Structure 1
Amino acid sequence: MPAAVAGVRFGVLPATNATFVAAIAIITSLLVSSAADDIELLSRAVVWLLVGYGVGMLASWQLRSVRDIEARQAPYAAANQLMSQLHHLAQRGRVGLDSVQLAVELEANLRRRTGAEQVGVFTIGPTGQSELLACHGDRLALGAFHDQIRQNGTRPPELAELVLRGADGLRGRVLLIRDKGWSDEDLAVGQEITDEYVLRLDTAVLFDDVRLMATAEERNRIAREMHDGVAQEIVALGYVVDEIETVSEEPEIRALAASLRDEISRVVTELRFSIFDLRHQVTEHRLPAALTEYARELSHGSELRVHLVLDESGQSLPMWMESELLRIAQEAIGNVRKHAQAENLWVTLQSDGVDVKLRIEDDGIGNATPKERHWGLQTMTERAERIGACLTIGSRPGGGTIVSLSNTGSLPLEKDRHT
């Protein structure tokens, strides 16, 4: 029994040890016993010991297979449990899963409790790159101080540093600036507030990456469905129209068929651009490359002349910000292509890793105003708010429309978000 139970519960080595101990006990009993009945009984015990060892080996082999399956499934089971907990907490409204919102909330609390005049919340993403999630004050100055601390650890007296430390190490920094300097009591209060947010903020940053991957996969799925479903059916309709035009002898019917064929070709072209929009995304923190590829595709598929100006310096923007900027540019460029009747399109992107300016202008008919049941302009505004930027749409001198986005300077939108 000991060998069989050890094999069932613990595996090969415990079963072997139990058998070895039992064998030593039997041998010892044989050596000290002189009665014939005892010797015969112990001999029978040897047989049962071997049977028990065999059962233990068989059970341990089956147990090893079960454990191998459980080991392969364990990461997914743990991830499922964590996602279920996040979903439950989000439904109850007790935790936000928006890293920017949490960072803004942390920054506002620090200013209120410590009297800081400028605050910057920097996090370290999964790739190891530092990202500015929320800021109140001079973005460039806070970014320069952050780089200075990372390089040599020095900082002026008016600057305080609070660490966002998770279970697996440093997860980011919070920089605070106040003219009168900082006491140990002020820093203790600030660190206490920061510690309350670090786990939620770290979780939200990770969830942002999960959300980006899920969004990209869903966009690709929709693109596949459109290509294999609607697009193919519309192309089939085009063949039917061609057949009607071929077999009909009525001039009016042939003219109507030709007109319908042109309209179907236009719809197919729009679908092709829509599928490309869905599949197109930022990879490896390269927003300029994504914009260049998009402009190249646009110029190949239309007579619109695209003029692209890219001015990027410093480190790359956070991935979630680059994704939002790409979607804003896609929407604005798509509006020009479909509605502006323009001959030229100018796309300008300026970024230094902290501040970003995006400008899209055309020489079309202008009058870019929201229309009923059309949500493009509203969606662009919401995306701009998501990255703490200001989006303006106006007329271009000489005709056309200008869409301008900027997160530099003191933005009323940013103040409202903080409030």
Structure 2
Amino acid sequence: MGTTHSARRTWRITTAVRVFAIALVLGRALSAGGVGRVAVLILVLGLIASMASLVEGVGADGLQRWVPVVESLLVGAVVAADPARDEAILLYLAVPPLVAGIRHGWLLATNAFLVSAAAVLVGSRLSSDPPSIDVLQSVGFWLVTGLGIGVLAGVQTRSIRTLEQSQAPYVATHQLMSQLHDLASRGEVGLDSVKLSTELVGRLRDGTGAVDVAVYGHAWGPPLVQLAGHGDTTSLSSHAVGTNHPRVHDVLVVGLRGAGHQLGSVVLRRPGGWNADSRAIAQTVADEFALRLDTAVLFDEVRRLATAEERKRIAREMHDGVAQELVALGYLVDEIASVSDEAETLALADTMRQEISRVVAEIRYSILDLRHHVAEHRLSGALADYVHQVTQDMDLRVNLVLDESGPALPPRTESELLRVAQEAIGNVRKHANADNLWVTLVSDGSTLLLEVEDDGVGNAQPKDRHWGLQSMHERAAGIEASLDVTSRDGGGTIVRLQSPPLTAATKELA
């Protein structure tokens, strides 16, 4: 987009140069009172200039590079054909080298100069009335003038083009982001891949009568990513990846074609099989959603990268700023304790030191939360590693049940699940005073369940100016899941996040 804008601007400049030169030729001819005898030549120059501008405006890039050379040849022939060698006509010799320099650089400006000079000399040799020395000097003056200005313009525009080429990706990105911002602010485009995928599943079920539907993304490469699903989708992933198996009459695979690449596919199971009408409906709905979903997936990835970078920045600021200042404050408390013999002062200093140590430890846990992330679609691995790091210094028995037998989840869903687990486990560590911690993750293609359970003091209720429970509910809603915080029989708390359960009808059909 940036390159197109630059080309149009250059075309406008060179067209203006030609128009100005033709106007100058006409003006000088009128002032000399001899326009009648060169009117035909001025008309020919006008036609040459018009054709050159037209080809430069709409012609292919390879063709455009020949325009200044051909224009130089034709202008040289016109000058040589002028029996009067009118000064007004001669000045147009400067135009082709100048235009060549502006559009293509100094080398093509030099070539245009040489072609014009050769055309004038050859034409003059063939003429029955060779030009005088004065005319040749005028010819040389205008050719050299065009060459000089063309070379200077070529050097200058080259630096401008180099700068524009380096900025072109950012210019194009800025334009696209501006359009995206305008659409999003007006509410005309959905940028949530989870909601779009869920909406696609609903539309396909309503339109085709399919009972099992799964939307798979291929954009991240292996493993296959399930963006959304309904019903028993466990066996559908093999159809999405094209595994060799007998063709099933009740299963339909519809491709999702994104912007120039295969975004993914939708696999549907319909009792009784598929006819031409139901296949056409499925394809129409998938085509309707494909580009929107592709844009949302790309936006999710941009948002994920930006969020990860911001989390790292905040973690660095916390480590290098607040944490270091608290450590320095601890040294100050130690110094106060070392210069005082009063029991009350020593007791207060000890209390302050313990509190500072607690806050520093919390900051370090927060830094761990900010930096910890899911790598290569290994949510269970990231979760197990986090639990180990958080609980290694605690007298807490940990029980992990991790089942990721289904297709990989979208990166955003994995990230939100990890953040919910971090918040829930952090609450257990800080407030529960528990002996046992149970962490369960099940993602088998039809069920998504995250459960954090403890046997502590319970009573996990929202507190003023504490947003942990609210943020967990918001994260769950963002991935089309529900979150419940309930008391555990025998004491403690259960935090359960799960995808919408199967309907009774679906269970019977499955």
User: Could you say which TM-score interval applies, normalised by the shorter chain?
Assistant: 0.7 to 0.9
Q: Residues of 2 paired with 1:373 and 1:38: CA distance? A: 95
The answer to whether structure 1 residue 78 and structure 2 residue 167 are counterparts is no
Give the distance between the partners of 2:398 and 2:155, measured in 1 at CA. Answer: 67
SS at match of 1:161: strand
Q: Is the 8 A contact 2:196 2:293 kept in 1?
A: yes
CA contact (8 A) 1:389 1:405 kept: yes
Give yes or no for contact 1:26–1:42 (8 Å, CA) kept in 2. Answer: no
Equivalents in 1 of 2:458, 2:404: separation in Å? 29
Distance 1:311 1:336 in 2: 22
Structure 2 counterpart of 1:295, one-letter code? V
Alignment-mate amino acid for residue 114 of structure 2? F
What is the aligned partner in structure 2 of residue 185 from structure 1?
Answer: 277
Distance 1:349 1:115, change over 3 A: closer
Contact kept? 2:405, 2:444, Cα under 8 Å: yes
Q: Secondary structure at the match of 2:132?
A: helix
Give the aligned residue type for 1:326. L
The answer to whether 1:135 aligns with 2:193 is no
CA contact 1:132–1:354 (8 Å) conserved in 2: no
Letter of the aligned partner of 1:28 in structure 2?
V
Moved more, 19-28 or 182-191: 182-191
Other structure's SS at 1:139 match: coil
- Tell me the residue number matched to 1:369: 461
Identity over aligned pairs, percent: 55
Partner letter of residue 6 of structure 1? A
Structure 2 matches for 1:94-109, cutoff 5 A? 94-109=188-203
Distance in 1 between residues matched to 2:195 and 2:455, nearest whole Å? 38
Instruction: Answer whether contact 2:304 2:412 (CA < 8 A) is retained.
Output: yes
Q: Structure 1: 5+ residue runs without aligned partners?
A: 415-419
CA distance in 1, matches of 2:364, 2:226: 36
What is the distance in 1 between the residues matched to 2:228 and 2:474?
Answer: 17
Specify the alignment match of 2:323 in structure 1. 231
Query: Which residue type is aligned with residue 41 of structure 1?
Result: V
Matched, 1:88 2:182: yes
* Structure 1 residue 88: Cα displacement: 0.7
User: Aligned pair in 2 of structure 1 residues 190, 37: CA closer, same or farther (>3 Å)?
Assistant: closer
Q: Would the alpha carbon gap of residues 299 and 193 (structure 1) be closer, same or farther in structure 2, given more than 3 Å must change?
A: closer
Matched, 1:119 2:213: yes
- For the 8 Å contact 2:451–2:495, the answer to whether it is kept is yes
Q: How many residues align?
A: 411
Q: In the alignment, residue 87 of structure 1 is paired with which amino acid? A: H
1:173-212 to 2 correspondences below 5 Å = 173-212=265-304
Structure 1 residues 117, 295: CA separation in 2 closer, same or farther (over 3 Å shift)? closer
Who wins on radius of gyration, i.e. which is larger?
2
Rate the CA distance shift 1:62–1:128 in 2: closer, same or farther, 3 A. farther
- The residue number in structure 2 matching 1:275 is 367
> TM-score scaled by structure 1?
0.88
Question: Aligned to 1:66, what secondary structure does the other structure show?
Answer: helix
The CA distance in 2 between the partners of 1:349 and 1:123, in whole Å, is 22
Q: Secondary structure at the match of 1:248?
A: coil
State the Cα distance separating 1:397 from its structure 2 match.
Answer: 5.1
Are the aligned partners of 1:33 and 1:39 in contact in 2 as well (CA < 8 Å)? no
Cα distance, 1:247 vs structure 2: 2.0
Contact kept in structure 1, 2:218 and 2:263, CA below 8 Å? yes
- 1:60 is aligned, of 154, 172, 190, to 154
- Aligned residue for 1:417? none
- AA paired with 1:15? A
Distance 1:144 1:386, change over 3 A: farther
How far did residue 35 of structure 1 move?
A: 5.8
Answer yes or no: is the 8 Å Cα contact 2:435–2:456 preserved in 1. Answer: yes
Distance 1:13 1:199, change over 3 A: farther
Q: Quick check: 243-252 or 366-375, which moved more?
A: 366-375
Superposed displacement of residue 274, structure 1: 0.9
Q: CA deviation at 1:245?
A: 1.8
Describe the SS at the equivalent of 1:132: strand
CA contact (8 A) 1:30 1:42 kept: no
RMSD: 2.8
Distance 1:114 1:316, change over 3 A: closer
Query: Where does residue 251 of structure 1 map in the other structure?
Result: 343
Partners in 2 of 1:45 and 1:209 — Cα distance? 62
Superposition deviation, residue 277 in structure 1: 0.8
| CA distance, structure 2, for counterparts of residue 206 and residue 128 of structure 1 | 17
CA separation of 1:300/1:255 partners in 2, compared to 1, >3 Å: closer, same or farther? same
**Candidates 268, 282, 299, aligned match of 2:391:** 299
Deviation at 1:59, TM superposition (A): 1.8
1:312, 1:171 → 2: CA distance?
Answer: 23
What is the CA–CA distance in structure 1 between the aligned matches of 2:280 and 2:222, rounded to whole Å?
27
Cα deviation, residue 273, structure 1: 0.7
- Does the alignment pair 1:338 with 2:430? yes
Please, which of 242, 246, 268 is the counterpart of residue 334 of structure 2? 242
Structure 2 matches for 1:394-409, cutoff 5 A? 394-396=486-488, 398-407=490-499, 409=501
- Distance verdict in 2 for CA 1:139–1:47, change over 3 Å: same
Moved over 6 A (4+): none
Deviations 1:337-385 (A, max 9, x none): 1011123433343444664443333332233333344332232233233
Whether the aligned pair in 1 keeps the contact of 2:195 and 2:480 (CA below 8 Å) is: no
Pair 1:264–1:19, CA change in 2 (3 A):
same
